[in-house]
Structure 1
Amino acid sequence: MAPRASSPAPDPVAALPGDLPTRVRALAGRLVEVPGVVAVTLGGSRARGAAAPDSDVDLGLYYRPPLDVPALEALARDVCGPDAQVTAPGAWGPWVDGGAWLQLGGLPLDWIYRDLDRVAAAWRNARAGRFAFAAQVGHPLGFLDAAYAGELALGVLLADPSGEAAALQRETAAYPPALGRALVARLAEARFTVQIAGKAAPRGDTAYVAGCLFRAVGLCAHALHGAAGRWLVNEKGAVAAAGALPGAPAGFAVRAAGVLAALGTGADQLTAAVAATAELVDDVATACG
Protein backbone atom coordinates (compact mmCIF):
# COMPACT_ATOMS: atom_id res chain seq x y z
CA MET A 1 0.00 0.00 0.00
CA ALA A 2 1.33 3.42 -0.94
CA PRO A 3 1.90 5.76 2.02
CA ARG A 4 -0.66 8.47 2.51
CA ALA A 5 0.37 12.03 1.91
CA SER A 6 0.50 13.98 5.14
CA SER A 7 -0.18 17.64 5.73
CA PRO A 8 2.75 19.77 6.88
CA ALA A 9 2.97 20.09 10.65
CA PRO A 10 1.82 23.51 11.91
CA ASP A 11 4.61 25.91 12.80
CA PRO A 12 4.42 26.51 16.58
CA VAL A 13 6.49 29.67 16.30
CA ALA A 14 3.97 31.17 13.87
CA ALA A 15 1.28 30.58 16.50
CA LEU A 16 2.87 33.06 18.92
CA PRO A 17 0.88 36.28 19.35
CA GLY A 18 1.64 39.63 17.75
CA ASP A 19 5.11 40.13 16.34
CA LEU A 20 6.67 37.46 18.55
CA PRO A 21 7.26 34.93 15.73
CA THR A 22 9.60 37.36 13.96
CA ARG A 23 11.28 38.41 17.19
CA VAL A 24 11.83 34.85 18.42
CA ARG A 25 13.35 33.69 15.13
CA ALA A 26 15.60 36.76 15.01
CA LEU A 27 16.65 36.13 18.60
CA ALA A 28 17.56 32.52 17.79
CA GLY A 29 19.76 33.76 14.97
CA ARG A 30 21.56 36.13 17.32
CA LEU A 31 21.97 33.51 20.03
CA VAL A 32 23.93 31.14 17.79
CA GLU A 33 26.39 33.97 17.14
CA VAL A 34 27.36 33.89 20.84
CA PRO A 35 30.58 31.88 21.35
CA GLY A 36 29.72 28.43 22.66
CA VAL A 37 26.10 28.32 21.48
CA VAL A 38 25.69 25.61 18.83
CA ALA A 39 21.93 25.55 18.26
CA VAL A 40 18.63 26.91 19.57
CA THR A 41 15.32 25.06 19.85
CA LEU A 42 11.79 25.90 20.84
CA GLY A 43 10.70 23.44 23.51
CA GLY A 44 8.02 22.77 26.09
CA SER A 45 4.30 23.08 25.46
CA ARG A 46 4.86 25.58 22.64
CA ALA A 47 6.81 23.00 20.62
CA ARG A 48 4.19 20.34 21.28
CA GLY A 49 1.33 22.59 20.19
CA ALA A 50 -0.27 22.27 23.65
CA ALA A 51 0.39 25.76 24.98
CA ALA A 52 -2.05 28.07 26.70
CA PRO A 53 -2.06 31.71 25.56
CA ASP A 54 0.16 32.69 28.49
CA SER A 55 2.51 29.70 28.36
CA ASP A 56 6.25 30.30 28.61
CA VAL A 57 8.36 30.49 25.47
CA ASP A 58 11.10 27.95 26.23
CA LEU A 59 14.29 28.24 24.19
CA GLY A 60 16.84 25.46 24.54
CA LEU A 61 20.38 26.79 24.14
CA TYR A 62 22.52 23.85 23.07
CA TYR A 63 26.12 24.77 23.79
CA ARG A 64 29.63 23.44 23.97
CA PRO A 65 31.91 24.84 26.70
CA PRO A 66 33.21 27.40 27.18
CA LEU A 67 29.95 29.36 26.96
CA ASP A 68 30.34 33.14 26.74
CA VAL A 69 27.95 34.09 29.56
CA PRO A 70 28.77 37.84 29.50
CA ALA A 71 27.90 37.95 25.79
CA LEU A 72 24.64 36.13 26.50
CA GLU A 73 23.78 38.58 29.26
CA ALA A 74 24.50 41.54 26.98
CA LEU A 75 22.16 40.05 24.38
CA ALA A 76 19.47 39.40 27.00
CA ARG A 77 19.61 43.02 28.16
CA ASP A 78 19.50 44.31 24.62
CA VAL A 79 16.38 42.26 23.84
CA CYS A 80 14.58 42.13 27.19
CA GLY A 81 15.71 45.20 29.10
CA PRO A 82 18.53 46.36 31.39
CA ASP A 83 17.45 44.21 34.35
CA ALA A 84 17.83 40.90 32.49
CA GLN A 85 20.13 38.42 34.19
CA VAL A 86 21.74 35.25 32.86
CA THR A 87 23.29 32.45 34.92
CA ALA A 88 26.47 30.48 34.41
CA PRO A 89 26.15 26.80 33.44
CA GLY A 90 25.40 24.65 36.49
CA ALA A 91 23.73 27.44 38.45
CA TRP A 92 20.35 25.68 38.45
CA GLY A 93 21.70 22.25 39.31
CA PRO A 94 23.52 19.37 37.64
CA TRP A 95 20.79 18.56 35.10
CA VAL A 96 18.54 21.59 34.63
CA ASP A 97 21.90 23.39 34.25
CA GLY A 98 21.14 27.10 33.93
CA GLY A 99 19.85 29.87 31.70
CA ALA A 100 17.62 32.90 32.19
CA TRP A 101 14.07 33.88 33.13
CA LEU A 102 13.13 36.80 30.92
CA GLN A 103 10.13 38.65 29.49
CA LEU A 104 9.52 39.19 25.78
CA GLY A 105 6.44 40.93 24.45
CA GLY A 106 4.57 40.34 27.70
CA LEU A 107 5.27 36.60 27.77
CA PRO A 108 7.75 34.72 29.95
CA LEU A 109 10.82 33.76 27.93
CA ASP A 110 13.06 31.06 29.37
CA TRP A 111 16.54 30.24 28.16
CA ILE A 112 17.56 26.74 29.20
CA TYR A 113 21.11 25.50 28.75
CA ARG A 114 21.89 22.04 27.43
CA ASP A 115 25.46 20.85 26.92
CA LEU A 116 25.29 19.20 23.48
CA ASP A 117 27.95 16.63 24.30
CA ARG A 118 26.05 15.57 27.44
CA VAL A 119 22.89 15.28 25.35
CA ALA A 120 24.70 13.01 22.91
CA ALA A 121 26.03 10.89 25.79
CA ALA A 122 22.54 10.58 27.29
CA TRP A 123 21.28 9.46 23.88
CA ARG A 124 23.96 6.78 23.58
CA ASN A 125 23.02 5.47 27.02
CA ALA A 126 19.31 5.53 26.22
CA ARG A 127 19.87 3.49 23.06
CA ALA A 128 21.63 0.89 25.22
CA GLY A 129 18.83 0.88 27.80
CA ARG A 130 20.85 2.75 30.42
CA PHE A 131 19.33 5.62 32.39
CA ALA A 132 19.23 7.13 35.87
CA PHE A 133 16.96 9.35 37.92
CA ALA A 134 19.24 12.10 39.23
CA ALA A 135 18.63 14.39 42.20
CA GLN A 136 17.56 17.81 40.92
CA VAL A 137 15.58 20.66 42.47
CA GLY A 138 12.07 20.74 41.04
CA HIS A 139 12.09 17.03 40.20
CA PRO A 140 10.84 15.12 43.26
CA LEU A 141 10.98 11.77 41.45
CA GLY A 142 14.40 12.61 40.02
CA PHE A 143 15.48 14.01 36.67
CA LEU A 144 15.53 11.25 34.04
CA ASP A 145 18.82 11.76 32.23
CA ALA A 146 17.41 10.21 29.04
CA ALA A 147 15.04 13.18 28.90
CA TYR A 148 17.93 15.16 27.37
CA ALA A 149 17.46 13.10 24.20
CA GLY A 150 13.69 13.36 24.40
CA GLU A 151 13.80 17.15 24.68
CA LEU A 152 15.76 17.39 21.47
CA ALA A 153 13.51 14.86 19.75
CA LEU A 154 10.39 16.86 20.63
CA GLY A 155 11.85 20.34 20.11
CA VAL A 156 11.64 22.60 17.08
CA LEU A 157 15.00 23.70 15.70
CA LEU A 158 15.17 27.45 15.22
CA ALA A 159 18.87 27.89 14.50
CA ASP A 160 21.56 25.28 13.86
CA PRO A 161 24.37 26.62 11.66
CA SER A 162 26.60 23.53 11.96
CA GLY A 163 23.80 20.99 11.51
CA GLU A 164 24.98 19.03 14.57
CA ALA A 165 21.73 19.37 16.49
CA ALA A 166 19.67 18.46 13.44
CA ALA A 167 21.70 15.28 12.91
CA LEU A 168 21.24 14.25 16.53
CA GLN A 169 17.56 15.16 16.44
CA ARG A 170 17.01 12.83 13.48
CA GLU A 171 18.47 9.99 15.52
CA THR A 172 16.38 10.71 18.62
CA ALA A 173 13.17 10.81 16.61
CA ALA A 174 13.07 7.00 16.87
CA TYR A 175 12.40 6.03 20.49
CA PRO A 176 14.95 3.39 21.58
CA PRO A 177 13.29 0.03 22.37
CA ALA A 178 16.01 -0.82 24.90
CA LEU A 179 15.09 2.27 26.93
CA GLY A 180 11.42 1.30 26.87
CA ARG A 181 12.22 -2.19 28.15
CA ALA A 182 14.45 -0.80 30.90
CA LEU A 183 11.76 1.62 32.09
CA VAL A 184 9.21 -1.19 32.20
CA ALA A 185 11.68 -3.29 34.20
CA ARG A 186 11.74 -0.56 36.87
CA LEU A 187 8.22 -1.62 37.82
CA ALA A 188 10.03 -4.09 40.07
CA GLU A 189 11.18 -1.08 42.08
CA ALA A 190 7.64 0.26 42.12
CA ARG A 191 6.40 -3.02 43.60
CA PHE A 192 9.12 -3.03 46.26
CA THR A 193 8.43 0.61 47.12
CA VAL A 194 4.76 -0.21 47.68
CA GLN A 195 5.72 -3.15 49.87
CA ILE A 196 7.88 -1.06 52.18
CA ALA A 197 5.15 1.58 52.32
CA GLY A 198 2.89 -1.17 53.63
CA LYS A 199 5.16 -1.58 56.65
CA ALA A 200 4.85 2.11 57.54
CA ALA A 201 1.09 2.35 57.00
CA PRO A 202 0.03 0.65 60.27
CA ARG A 203 2.15 3.19 62.17
CA GLY A 204 0.28 6.09 60.58
CA ASP A 205 3.43 7.44 58.94
CA THR A 206 1.69 9.48 56.25
CA ALA A 207 4.78 11.34 55.07
CA TYR A 208 6.75 8.17 54.38
CA VAL A 209 3.83 6.38 52.74
CA ALA A 210 3.12 9.44 50.58
CA GLY A 211 6.72 9.52 49.35
CA CYS A 212 6.73 5.83 48.52
CA LEU A 213 3.42 5.86 46.69
CA PHE A 214 4.35 9.00 44.74
CA ARG A 215 7.50 7.25 43.56
CA ALA A 216 5.58 4.12 42.58
CA VAL A 217 3.08 6.16 40.58
CA GLY A 218 5.88 8.09 38.87
CA LEU A 219 7.67 4.88 37.89
CA CYS A 220 4.37 3.60 36.47
CA ALA A 221 4.04 6.74 34.33
CA HIS A 222 7.54 6.24 32.95
CA ALA A 223 6.93 2.53 32.33
CA LEU A 224 3.77 3.25 30.35
CA HIS A 225 5.61 5.78 28.20
CA GLY A 226 8.46 3.35 27.70
CA ALA A 227 6.10 0.57 26.65
CA ALA A 228 4.40 2.96 24.22
CA GLY A 229 7.70 4.24 22.83
CA ARG A 230 6.89 7.82 23.79
CA TRP A 231 9.30 10.34 25.26
CA LEU A 232 8.44 11.66 28.73
CA VAL A 233 10.56 14.70 29.55
CA ASN A 234 8.82 16.34 32.51
CA GLU A 235 7.28 15.16 35.76
CA LYS A 236 4.65 17.89 35.50
CA GLY A 237 1.64 16.33 33.83
CA ALA A 238 3.36 12.94 33.63
CA VAL A 239 0.48 11.01 35.20
CA ALA A 240 -2.15 12.63 32.98
CA ALA A 241 0.03 12.03 29.92
CA ALA A 242 0.47 8.37 30.86
CA GLY A 243 -3.26 7.96 31.37
CA ALA A 244 -3.90 9.28 27.86
CA LEU A 245 -1.68 6.66 26.21
CA PRO A 246 -3.58 4.04 24.19
CA GLY A 247 -2.20 1.13 26.23
CA ALA A 248 -2.71 2.60 29.70
CA PRO A 249 -4.95 0.78 32.21
CA ALA A 250 -8.47 2.15 32.35
CA GLY A 251 -8.70 5.17 34.61
CA PHE A 252 -4.96 5.20 35.35
CA ALA A 253 -4.69 8.96 35.94
CA VAL A 254 -7.86 9.15 38.03
CA ARG A 255 -6.85 6.16 40.12
CA ALA A 256 -3.34 7.49 40.70
CA ALA A 257 -4.63 10.91 41.69
CA GLY A 258 -7.24 9.33 43.96
CA VAL A 259 -4.60 7.38 45.86
CA LEU A 260 -2.40 10.41 46.47
CA ALA A 261 -5.26 12.79 47.22
CA ALA A 262 -6.87 10.71 49.97
CA LEU A 263 -4.03 9.19 51.95
CA GLY A 264 -5.30 10.39 55.32
CA THR A 265 -3.44 9.92 58.59
CA GLY A 266 -4.97 6.77 60.00
CA ALA A 267 -3.59 3.28 59.65
CA ASP A 268 -6.69 1.99 57.88
CA GLN A 269 -6.66 4.80 55.29
CA LEU A 270 -2.96 4.41 54.59
CA THR A 271 -3.23 0.63 54.32
CA ALA A 272 -6.08 1.02 51.82
CA ALA A 273 -4.00 3.46 49.78
CA VAL A 274 -1.10 1.02 49.71
CA ALA A 275 -3.39 -1.77 48.53
CA ALA A 276 -4.88 0.45 45.79
CA THR A 277 -1.41 1.41 44.58
CA ALA A 278 -0.29 -2.22 44.53
CA GLU A 279 -3.28 -3.05 42.34
CA LEU A 280 -2.47 -0.11 40.08
CA VAL A 281 1.15 -1.25 39.66
CA ASP A 282 -0.04 -4.74 38.80
CA ASP A 283 -2.42 -3.35 36.18
CA VAL A 284 0.38 -1.24 34.68
CA ALA A 285 2.65 -4.28 34.52
CA THR A 286 -0.07 -6.20 32.69
CA ALA A 287 -0.63 -3.29 30.30
CA CYS A 288 3.10 -3.11 29.59
CA GLY A 289 3.27 -6.80 28.82
Structure 2
Amino acid sequence: MAERLTAVAGVRAVVLGGSRARGTHRPDSDWDLGLYYRGAPDLAALTELASTFQGSPVEVAGPGGWGPWVNGGAWLRVDGAPVDWILRDLDRVEAVWSACRQGRYEVGGQPGHPLGFWSPAYPGEVALGCVLADPHGELTALQRETSGYPEPLRAALADAAWEAEFSVEAARKSAPAGDRLHVSLCLSRAFGILVQSLHAHHRTWCLNEKGALAAAAALPKTPAFFAERVGEALRGLDAAAVETAAAVVRDVREVLRANAA
Protein backbone atom coordinates (compact mmCIF):
# COMPACT_ATOMS: atom_id res chain seq x y z
CA MET A 1 0.00 0.00 0.00
CA ALA A 2 2.77 2.44 0.93
CA GLU A 3 4.62 1.85 -2.31
CA ARG A 4 1.49 2.42 -4.38
CA LEU A 5 0.69 5.58 -2.43
CA THR A 6 4.09 7.13 -3.17
CA ALA A 7 3.34 6.63 -6.87
CA VAL A 8 0.50 9.16 -6.53
CA ALA A 9 1.43 12.65 -7.68
CA GLY A 10 2.36 14.86 -4.73
CA VAL A 11 2.85 12.05 -2.19
CA ARG A 12 6.51 11.97 -1.17
CA ALA A 13 6.56 9.38 1.61
CA VAL A 14 4.40 7.13 3.76
CA VAL A 15 5.01 6.54 7.47
CA LEU A 16 3.41 4.07 9.87
CA GLY A 17 2.46 5.97 13.02
CA GLY A 18 0.39 5.58 16.17
CA SER A 19 0.53 2.69 18.57
CA ARG A 20 1.59 0.17 15.92
CA ALA A 21 4.74 2.14 15.17
CA ARG A 22 5.56 2.40 18.87
CA GLY A 23 4.74 -1.23 19.67
CA THR A 24 1.99 -0.33 22.16
CA HIS A 25 -0.95 -1.45 20.01
CA ARG A 26 -3.78 -3.84 20.81
CA PRO A 27 -4.99 -6.48 18.33
CA ASP A 28 -7.86 -4.19 17.31
CA SER A 29 -5.76 -1.01 16.99
CA ASP A 30 -5.94 1.02 13.78
CA TRP A 31 -3.16 1.10 11.23
CA ASP A 32 -2.27 4.80 10.95
CA LEU A 33 -0.47 5.79 7.76
CA GLY A 34 0.88 9.32 7.42
CA LEU A 35 0.84 10.46 3.78
CA TYR A 36 3.47 13.19 3.49
CA TYR A 37 2.93 15.36 0.42
CA ARG A 38 4.19 18.53 -1.18
CA GLY A 39 1.99 20.91 -3.13
CA ALA A 40 -1.45 19.46 -3.88
CA PRO A 41 -1.82 15.66 -3.74
CA ASP A 42 -3.86 14.05 -6.52
CA LEU A 43 -7.14 13.50 -4.63
CA ALA A 44 -8.77 11.71 -7.54
CA ALA A 45 -5.93 9.18 -7.66
CA LEU A 46 -6.00 8.78 -3.85
CA THR A 47 -9.77 8.21 -3.93
CA GLU A 48 -9.46 5.60 -6.65
CA LEU A 49 -6.65 3.83 -4.81
CA ALA A 50 -8.53 3.89 -1.48
CA SER A 51 -11.63 2.43 -3.10
CA THR A 52 -9.53 -0.28 -4.72
CA PHE A 53 -7.93 -1.29 -1.42
CA GLN A 54 -11.25 -1.34 0.44
CA GLY A 55 -13.27 -2.86 -2.37
CA SER A 56 -15.98 -0.21 -2.06
CA PRO A 57 -16.22 3.58 -2.45
CA VAL A 58 -14.17 5.67 -0.03
CA GLU A 59 -14.27 9.42 0.52
CA VAL A 60 -10.86 11.06 0.79
CA ALA A 61 -10.81 14.46 2.52
CA GLY A 62 -8.40 16.86 0.88
CA PRO A 63 -6.08 19.30 2.67
CA GLY A 64 -8.08 21.22 5.27
CA GLY A 65 -11.01 18.81 5.11
CA TRP A 66 -10.37 17.53 8.62
CA GLY A 67 -9.30 20.83 10.13
CA PRO A 68 -6.22 23.05 10.09
CA TRP A 69 -3.77 20.63 11.72
CA VAL A 70 -4.86 17.02 11.17
CA ASN A 71 -5.45 18.23 7.61
CA GLY A 72 -7.26 15.40 5.76
CA GLY A 73 -7.22 11.76 4.79
CA ALA A 74 -9.50 8.72 4.73
CA TRP A 75 -10.81 5.90 6.90
CA LEU A 76 -10.62 2.49 5.27
CA ARG A 77 -11.28 -1.11 6.16
CA VAL A 78 -8.85 -3.44 4.43
CA ASP A 79 -9.23 -7.18 4.96
CA GLY A 80 -11.37 -6.33 8.00
CA ALA A 81 -8.72 -4.10 9.58
CA PRO A 82 -9.17 -0.33 10.16
CA VAL A 83 -6.60 1.65 8.17
CA ASP A 84 -6.39 5.44 8.51
CA TRP A 85 -4.72 7.62 5.92
CA ILE A 86 -3.67 10.95 7.41
CA LEU A 87 -2.41 13.74 5.18
CA ARG A 88 0.64 15.72 6.27
CA ASP A 89 1.98 18.73 4.37
CA LEU A 90 5.72 18.09 4.34
CA ASP A 91 6.59 21.74 3.77
CA ARG A 92 4.57 22.69 6.84
CA VAL A 93 6.07 19.89 8.92
CA GLU A 94 9.55 21.12 8.05
CA ALA A 95 8.57 24.71 8.92
CA VAL A 96 7.22 23.60 12.31
CA TRP A 97 10.40 21.62 12.94
CA SER A 98 12.48 24.71 12.18
CA ALA A 99 10.40 26.72 14.67
CA CYS A 100 10.72 24.01 17.32
CA ARG A 101 14.49 24.09 17.06
CA GLN A 102 14.25 27.79 17.94
CA GLY A 103 11.97 27.12 20.91
CA ARG A 104 8.78 28.27 19.18
CA TYR A 105 5.54 26.29 19.01
CA GLU A 106 1.81 26.79 18.43
CA VAL A 107 -1.35 25.39 19.98
CA GLY A 108 -4.20 25.44 17.48
CA GLY A 109 -7.84 24.48 17.59
CA GLN A 110 -8.47 21.12 15.96
CA PRO A 111 -11.46 18.73 15.98
CA GLY A 112 -10.56 15.60 17.89
CA HIS A 113 -8.01 17.42 20.06
CA PRO A 114 -9.94 18.90 23.00
CA LEU A 115 -6.83 20.54 24.46
CA GLY A 116 -5.70 21.84 21.09
CA PHE A 117 -3.12 20.55 18.63
CA TRP A 118 0.40 21.25 19.86
CA SER A 119 2.63 21.83 16.85
CA PRO A 120 5.62 19.80 18.19
CA ALA A 121 3.49 16.73 17.44
CA TYR A 122 4.51 17.14 13.78
CA PRO A 123 8.23 16.43 14.30
CA GLY A 124 7.29 13.97 17.05
CA GLU A 125 5.28 11.91 14.59
CA VAL A 126 8.27 11.77 12.28
CA ALA A 127 10.65 10.85 15.11
CA LEU A 128 8.46 8.03 16.45
CA GLY A 129 7.10 6.73 13.14
CA CYS A 130 8.25 3.86 10.96
CA VAL A 131 9.12 4.96 7.42
CA LEU A 132 7.49 2.52 4.98
CA ALA A 133 8.14 4.20 1.64
CA ASP A 134 10.43 7.16 1.02
CA PRO A 135 11.70 7.06 -2.56
CA HIS A 136 13.39 10.48 -2.31
CA GLY A 137 14.87 9.97 1.18
CA GLU A 138 13.20 13.11 2.56
CA LEU A 139 11.44 11.56 5.55
CA THR A 140 14.41 9.39 6.40
CA ALA A 141 16.62 12.47 6.59
CA LEU A 142 14.05 14.37 8.66
CA GLN A 143 13.69 11.41 11.01
CA ARG A 144 17.40 11.49 11.71
CA GLU A 145 17.13 15.17 12.60
CA THR A 146 14.13 14.73 14.91
CA SER A 147 15.75 11.88 16.83
CA GLY A 148 17.29 14.57 19.03
CA TYR A 149 14.94 16.73 21.11
CA PRO A 150 15.77 20.44 20.69
CA GLU A 151 16.89 22.10 23.91
CA PRO A 152 15.15 25.43 23.09
CA LEU A 153 11.85 23.57 22.69
CA ARG A 154 12.45 21.67 25.91
CA ALA A 155 12.95 24.93 27.79
CA ALA A 156 9.93 26.61 26.19
CA LEU A 157 7.51 23.78 26.95
CA ALA A 158 8.81 23.33 30.49
CA ASP A 159 8.35 27.06 31.09
CA ALA A 160 4.77 26.78 29.80
CA ALA A 161 3.83 25.20 33.12
CA TRP A 162 3.15 28.70 34.49
CA GLU A 163 -0.15 28.64 32.57
CA ALA A 164 -1.25 25.55 34.50
CA GLU A 165 -1.10 27.57 37.70
CA PHE A 166 -3.01 30.40 36.01
CA SER A 167 -5.74 27.98 34.90
CA VAL A 168 -6.13 26.59 38.40
CA GLU A 169 -6.55 30.12 39.74
CA ALA A 170 -9.33 30.69 37.20
CA ALA A 171 -11.02 27.48 38.35
CA ARG A 172 -10.73 28.60 41.98
CA LYS A 173 -12.94 31.60 41.18
CA SER A 174 -15.63 29.47 39.48
CA ALA A 175 -15.78 26.52 41.87
CA PRO A 176 -17.75 28.25 44.68
CA ALA A 177 -20.50 29.11 42.18
CA GLY A 178 -20.76 25.47 41.09
CA ASP A 179 -19.73 26.30 37.51
CA ARG A 180 -18.58 22.76 36.75
CA LEU A 181 -18.11 23.33 33.02
CA HIS A 182 -15.67 26.18 33.53
CA VAL A 183 -13.88 24.36 36.34
CA SER A 184 -13.55 21.20 34.25
CA LEU A 185 -12.17 23.13 31.28
CA CYS A 186 -9.67 25.03 33.42
CA LEU A 187 -8.43 21.93 35.23
CA SER A 188 -8.23 19.87 32.04
CA ARG A 189 -6.21 22.64 30.44
CA ALA A 190 -3.91 22.81 33.46
CA PHE A 191 -3.26 19.08 33.48
CA GLY A 192 -2.77 19.00 29.71
CA ILE A 193 -0.07 21.65 30.01
CA LEU A 194 1.65 19.77 32.83
CA VAL A 195 1.73 16.63 30.70
CA GLN A 196 3.34 18.54 27.84
CA SER A 197 5.86 20.14 30.20
CA LEU A 198 6.82 16.83 31.79
CA HIS A 199 7.32 15.14 28.44
CA ALA A 200 9.45 18.01 27.17
CA HIS A 201 11.45 18.08 30.39
CA HIS A 202 12.49 14.49 29.70
CA ARG A 203 13.04 15.16 25.98
CA THR A 204 10.14 12.89 25.07
CA TRP A 205 7.72 13.68 22.24
CA CYS A 206 4.05 14.02 23.26
CA LEU A 207 1.78 13.50 20.24
CA ASN A 208 -1.75 13.97 21.61
CA GLU A 209 -3.93 13.75 24.70
CA LYS A 210 -4.72 10.03 24.39
CA GLY A 211 -2.61 8.06 26.84
CA ALA A 212 -0.56 11.14 27.69
CA LEU A 213 -1.50 11.20 31.39
CA ALA A 214 -0.36 7.63 32.00
CA ALA A 215 2.79 8.23 29.98
CA ALA A 216 3.64 11.34 31.98
CA ALA A 217 2.98 9.53 35.25
CA ALA A 218 5.55 6.89 34.24
CA LEU A 219 8.32 9.41 33.59
CA PRO A 220 11.20 9.61 36.10
CA LYS A 221 10.64 11.88 39.12
CA THR A 222 7.03 12.68 38.22
CA PRO A 223 5.29 13.46 41.56
CA ALA A 224 3.89 10.40 43.33
CA PHE A 225 0.31 9.40 42.48
CA PHE A 226 0.24 12.01 39.71
CA ALA A 227 -2.40 10.27 37.59
CA GLU A 228 -4.51 9.36 40.61
CA ARG A 229 -4.55 12.93 41.91
CA VAL A 230 -5.46 14.27 38.47
CA GLY A 231 -8.32 11.78 38.33
CA GLU A 232 -9.51 12.83 41.78
CA ALA A 233 -9.59 16.49 40.78
CA LEU A 234 -11.45 15.82 37.53
CA ARG A 235 -14.05 13.73 39.33
CA GLY A 236 -14.69 16.33 42.00
CA LEU A 237 -14.80 19.62 40.10
CA ASP A 238 -15.47 21.49 43.33
CA ALA A 239 -13.43 23.69 45.65
CA ALA A 240 -11.62 20.69 47.13
CA ALA A 241 -10.79 19.46 43.63
CA VAL A 242 -9.28 22.82 42.77
CA GLU A 243 -7.00 22.62 45.82
CA THR A 244 -5.96 19.12 44.78
CA ALA A 245 -5.14 20.47 41.33
CA ALA A 246 -3.21 23.37 42.82
CA ALA A 247 -1.07 20.94 44.82
CA VAL A 248 -0.39 18.85 41.73
CA VAL A 249 0.71 21.95 39.82
CA ARG A 250 3.01 23.03 42.64
CA ASP A 251 4.61 19.58 42.81
CA VAL A 252 5.19 19.36 39.07
CA ARG A 253 6.62 22.87 38.86
CA GLU A 254 8.99 22.00 41.70
CA VAL A 255 10.18 18.97 39.73
CA LEU A 256 10.72 21.13 36.64
CA ARG A 257 12.67 23.75 38.63
CA ALA A 258 14.78 21.23 40.55
CA ASN A 259 15.80 19.29 37.45
CA ALA A 260 16.13 22.12 34.94
CA ALA A 261 19.67 21.13 33.95
Who is 2:98 aligned against? 124
Q: Does 1:284 align with 2:252?
A: yes
**AA matched with 2:13:** A
Matches for 1:46-65 after TM superposition, within 5 Å: 46-65=20-39
Question: What is the CA distance between 1:288 and its match in structure 2?
Answer: 1.5
Who is 1:271 aligned against? 239
Q: Secondary structure at the match of 1:122?
A: helix
Who is 2:63 aligned against? 89
**AA matched with 2:29:** S
In angstroms, what is the RMSD of aligned CA positions?
0.8
**AA matched with 2:171:** A
Q: Secondary structure at the match of 1:135?
A: strand
Distance in structure 2 (CA, Å) of the matches to 1:54 and 1:111: 17
Who is 2:125 aligned against? 151
Contact 1:228/1:247, CA 8 A, preserved across alignment:
no
Distance in structure 1 (CA, Å) of the matches to 2:46 and 2:245: 47
Who is 2:186 aligned against? 212
Number of residue-to-residue matches in the alignment: 257
Distance in structure 1 (CA, Å) of the matches to 2:221 and 2:200: 11
Q: Does 1:184 align with 2:197?
A: no
Structure 1 length-normalised TM? 0.87
Who is 1:19 aligned against? none
Deviating 4+ runs (over 6 angstroms): none
Instruction: State which of 202, 205, 211 in structure 2 corresponds to 1:228.
Output: 202
Q: Deviations over 1:75-124 (max 9, x none)?
A: 11111112222111110000000000001121100000000011001111
Q: Deviations over 1:241-289 (max 9, x none)?
A: 11011121111111111110222xxxxxx11111110110011111122
Contact 1:123/1:148, CA 8 A, preserved across alignment:
yes
Q: For structure 1, which segment, 48-57 or 83-92, has the greater mean C-alpha deviation from structure 2 after superposition?
A: 83-92
Who is 2:139 aligned against? 165
Who is 2:167 aligned against? 193
**AA matched with 1:252:** F
Distance in structure 2 (CA, Å) of the matches to 1:104 and 1:251: 41
Distance in structure 2 (CA, Å) of the matches to 1:82 and 1:105: 12
Contact 1:224/1:247, CA 8 A, preserved across alignment:
no
**AA matched with 2:107:** F
Q: Does 1:31 align with 2:5?
A: yes
Contact 1:153/1:170, CA 8 A, preserved across alignment:
yes
**AA matched with 2:183:** V
Who is 1:136 aligned against? 110
Structure 2 length-normalised TM? 0.97
Q: Secondary structure at the match of 2:74?
A: strand
| Unaligned 5+ runs, structure 1 | 1-26, 264-269
Structure with the greater alpha carbon radius of gyration = 1
Q: Secondary structure at the match of 1:89?
A: coil
Distance in structure 1 (CA, Å) of the matches to 2:102 and 2:221: 24
**AA matched with 1:221:** V
Contact 1:247/1:288, CA 8 A, preserved across alignment:
no
Q: For structure 1, which segment, 251-260 or 56-65, has the greater mean C-alpha deviation from structure 2 after superposition?
A: 251-260
Who is 2:73 aligned against? 99
Q: Deviations over 1:4-51 (max 9, x none)?
A: xxxxxxxxxxxxxxxxxxxxxxx1000000000000000000000000
Who is 2:44 aligned against? 70
| Unaligned 5+ runs, structure 2 | none
